[in-house]
Amino acid sequence: MLDVAAFEARQRQVLASGEALVATEVRAHDSEAPHRNQAFSETIVPLRSSSGEVIGLAHAVFEVTDRVRARERLALVNDASAKIGSTLDVLRTAQELTDVAVPLFADHAFVNLLDPVFGGEEPVLGPIAETVPLRRAATSSVLETPAEVVVATGEVDSFTSGPGALFGRALATGEPLFLTTEQVIAELAPVDPRRAALVREYGTHSYLLVPMFARGAPLGAAVFLRFRRADPFEADDVLLAQEFVARAAVCIDNARRYTHERATAMALQRNLLPQQLPLLRAVETASRYLPAGTRAVLGGAWFDVIPLSGARVALVVGDVPGHGLHVAVTMGRLRTAVRTLADLDLSPEELLTHLDDQISRFQDEHGEGLASGAAGTSCVYAVFDPISRRCAMARAGHPPAARLSADGKVELLDLPGGPPLGRGGAPFESGEVTLNDGDVLVLHTNRPEETAKDGAGTDLTWLREALSEPQLAASPRLDGICASVVRRLPPSRPQDDTALLVARVRGLHPDRHITWQLAAEPEVVGEARALATRKLAEWDLEELEFTTELVVSELVTNAIRYGSPPIQLRLIRDRSLICEVSDASSTSPHIRRALETDEGGRGLYMVAQLAQLWGTRYHARGKTIWAEQALPTAAVP
C-alpha cells in the first residue's frame, strides 16, 4: 500500500513546478503480506495544452522490489568486502562481520568460534565432537542494552555444545539453519531458559545460523536475528549471509594463522635468548630485548652472560643483520657457537676470529641462501676477571660499550674495534680496562650507522644522556638504567630489534682467594696439600678437605712432572671452591684409560670424578688447569 498523502504531495509538486519526476523510488507494504516491504518506480509527467499550460498528469508505477533488494544485497556484499578483514586480529575481524550485518541485514548478530580457533590454534578437520565448546567472539545489536550480555566475549556459549546442539548440527552438515520463534525457544529452553525468555520478550521471529568454514575446516558459526524488521529472512538472504560469512571466514582464518605464527615466532625468539641470567658474585646483570616494531617479529639481536673458569664472567651482545626466521636461526647458531668457544677459555680476539670462521662455514654449507645474511653480524665480547678487576674486550663492527662509574661519570670505552663478522679485513684486537667495584658496563645492539639521523647516534650522545641521569649511579637496581636507556633509544628501522645488557661489576675480596708460588720439586706436593688444608679451615670448609687434597695433589704432581716452572697454586672461594694450578708449559692434558697394572695415569681421571667441573685454559705464559667443587649447602653465599 502506497502512502496516499505522500503520493498527492508529489503530484502537487509536479503541477506546481511543471517538471517531471522520473523513476522515483517509493516504498510500500504488501497488503497481502504486511511484513513484506515492496519497492516501486514511480514516474509523474505533466500534460500540457497546445499553449504549454499544465492541464493534467500522467502517472506510471512499476514494482521493482526484486531489483532494489538485489542492489541492496550487492551493496552489503561490497560493504563486507571493504570492512571485514582490516586487521590481522581474530576478534576484531569477527566484530567487523557483526558490525556489517547490523542494522542493514539483521537486528542482532553474534559470532561463536570453536575453542581451538579462538585460541589461535589450527582448526581440526573432520567431524566436530559434540562436546567441543564454542566461545563468543563478537556481538552487535540495534538495542542499547542488548541480550548479548548473557554471553560475554571470550565466554563459552552453553547453547552451542552438548548432545544434539544446534551449532553442532550446522557444523556437521555445513548447511545454514533457519528457525522460527517457536523453534528457537524449543532449542534454548532446556539449556538456557533466560535466553529463551529474552527471545520471546524481544519478539524475535527469524533466526539464521550460518556455519563458518575455511580451507575445509570448521571455524565456528555466525547467527543473525530479526525482531524489529518485519520481514523474515528469505532464500536470497540466506545466500547473502553465506557470502559475507564465507568472506569473514577467510579473514578470520588468516588472522588466526597470523596470531599462531606470531606466537610461535615470539616463543622461538624467547627460547633462543637466555630465559634467566645466572646469579654470579662477580657481576650483577639486567637485560632488555625489544622486538622489531613491525610484523617481522623475529630478529637477530642477542645477549648472553657466560660463567667462565676462575670466577670470571663473559658478557656478550651481538646482532645478525636482517629479520625473519633464517636470521633468528642464524642468531641461535652463533649464540651456541659463542658459548662453545667461551668454554675453551679463548681470549676475546681469538673468540671473534673463530666466530668469523664459523660464519664462513655457514656460507660454505648453505651458499648464498639462508646463511648469507650472517655476513655483517656485529658482536662485542668482554671478559671480566674479579680478582684482577681487569676487563678484556673485543668488538666486531659493534658500537663501543659504555661505563657508568659509581661516582656518576659516563665514559665510552675507547677500545679497539674490528670489521663485522663474515666480511674479512683486519684481524681482531682486544683491549683492557680496569674496573672499580660498582662500575656499570652497558652493551647494546643499536648500531650508529643504522640510527644516524640529524647527527643522533653517530657519537652515541643519546647513550651518554641516558646514563647521565643523576639518580642512576646511586641506584641499587639496574632496572632503572635499562629503562633510561630504552627511553632514549634513537628511532631505528621498524624491522630492527634491539638487545641491551647492563652489568654492575664487583671484584672478589682478597680474603676469598689466595695464590702460592711453588717450586718444581716433588717434595712440594705435600706442602701444597698442607697449604690448601689450612686455608680451607680458615674458610670453614673442612668438609671439602679430603677431596681438595686429592685434587691439589694430582694437579701439582702433573705440573711438576709434565709442565715447566714457574708453578702456581690458587684457591678461590666463589659460589664454588675453585682450585687452579698454572705452569709455563702449553702441553695439553688428557684423561687416559689406565690399565690395572699401570702405576700411574689415573690423576686427571680422579680429578674429573671428584670435581663438579674441570678444564684447561691457555694464556701467554702457559696454561692453567682448574677444578670446581660445589660448596656445602651451609657455605653457599
Greater model confidence, 237 or 531: 531
pLDDT in tens, 401-415: 999 998 889 999 988
- The reported pLDDT for the residue numbered 628 is 93
pLDDT in tens, 198-250: 888 888 888 999 999 998 889 999 999 999 888 888 888 888 889 889 999 99
For residue 59, give the 3-state DSSP assignment: strand
Greater model confidence, 567 or 449: 567
- pLDDT surpassing 80 at residue 611: yes
Greater model confidence, 630 or 637: 630
Residue 597 pLDDT level (bands cut at 50, 70, 90): very low
- pLDDT surpassing 50 at residue 436: yes
- The reported pLDDT for the residue numbered 118 is 82
Average pLDDT value over all residues in the chain: 83
- The reported pLDDT for the residue numbered 598 is 45
Which set of grid coordinates corresponds to residue 606? 680422579
**Alpha-carbon distance 62 to 66, whole Å?**
11
Residue 186 pLDDT level (bands cut at 50, 70, 90): confident
Our CA dihedral for 554, 556, 561, 566, rounded to 10 degrees, sits at 160
- The reported pLDDT for the residue numbered 455 is 35
Q: Which domains does the chain have, with CATH numbers?
A: 4-63 (3.30.450.20), 69-263 (3.30.450.40), 277-505 (3.60.40.10), 510-635 (3.30.565.10)
Question: Which of 58-67, 285-294, 413-422 bottoms out in mean pLDDT, i.e. has the lowest?
Answer: 58-67
pLDDT in tens, 279-322: 898 999 999 998 876 555 688 899 999 999 999 999 999 999 88
Q: Across residues 603-622, what is the average pLDDT?
A: 85
What pTM, to 2 d.p., does this model score? 0.71
- The reported pLDDT for the residue numbered 325 is 81
- pLDDT surpassing 50 at residue 26: yes
Question: Which of 59-73, 211-225, 538-552, 619-633 bottoms out in mean pLDDT, i.e. has the lowest?
Answer: 59-73
- The reported pLDDT for the residue numbered 232 is 87
- The reported pLDDT for the residue numbered 18 is 78
Query: Residues with Cβ < 8 Å from 438, sequence gap 6 or more?
Result: 405, 406, 504, 505, 506
pLDDT in tens, 256-265: 888 888 778 7
- The reported pLDDT for the residue numbered 29 is 64
Contact 501, 444 (CB under 8 A): yes
- The reported pLDDT for the residue numbered 176 is 92
- pLDDT surpassing 90 at residue 353: yes
Q: Name residue, grid cell 567441543.
A: 132
- pLDDT surpassing 60 at residue 454: no
Q: Across residues 55-65, what is the average pLDDT?
A: 79
- The reported pLDDT for the residue numbered 164 is 65
- The reported pLDDT for the residue numbered 7 is 75
- The reported pLDDT for the residue numbered 81 is 79
**Alpha-carbon distance 352 to 426, whole Å?**
12
Q: Across residues 437-461, what is the average pLDDT?
A: 65
Is residue 345 left, alpha or beta, with left meaning phi > 0 and alpha meaning psi from -120 to 50?
left
Count CB neighbours of 233 within 10 A.
Answer: 22
Which stretch, 71-85, 301-315, 445-459, 485-499, has highest mean pLDDT? 301-315
- pLDDT surpassing 50 at residue 373: yes
Question: Which of 3-12, 345-354, 358-367, 449-458 bottoms out in mean pLDDT, i.e. has the lowest?
Answer: 449-458
> Which of these, 39, 16, 34, lies nearest to 8 by C-alpha position?
16
| DSSP β-bridge partners for residue 583 | 623
Count CB neighbours of 35 within 10 A.
Answer: 12
Q: Name residue, grid cell 556484499.
A: 77
First to last CA, the chain: 93
Residue 19 pLDDT level (bands cut at 50, 70, 90): confident
Containing 623, the helix (H) or strand (E) segment is: strand 622-630
Query: Residues with Cβ < 8 Å from 425, sequence gap 6 or more?
Result: 418, 419
Contact 522, 553 (CB under 8 A): no
- pLDDT surpassing 90 at residue 534: yes
Question: Which of 30-34, 299-303, 459-463, 574-578 bottoms out in mean pLDDT, i.e. has the lowest?
Answer: 30-34
Contact 236, 265 (CB under 8 A): no
Greater model confidence, 483 or 11: 483
- The reported pLDDT for the residue numbered 35 is 56
Cα–Cα distances in Å, from 536 out to 226, 311, 531, 572?
Answer: 86, 18, 9, 10
Q: Across residues 106-127, what is the average pLDDT?
A: 83
Greater model confidence, 194 or 636: 194
Quickly list DSSP for 542-600: GGGHHHHHHHHHHHHHHHHHHS-S-EEEEEEESSEEEEEEEES--PPP------TT-SS
- The reported pLDDT for the residue numbered 14 is 78
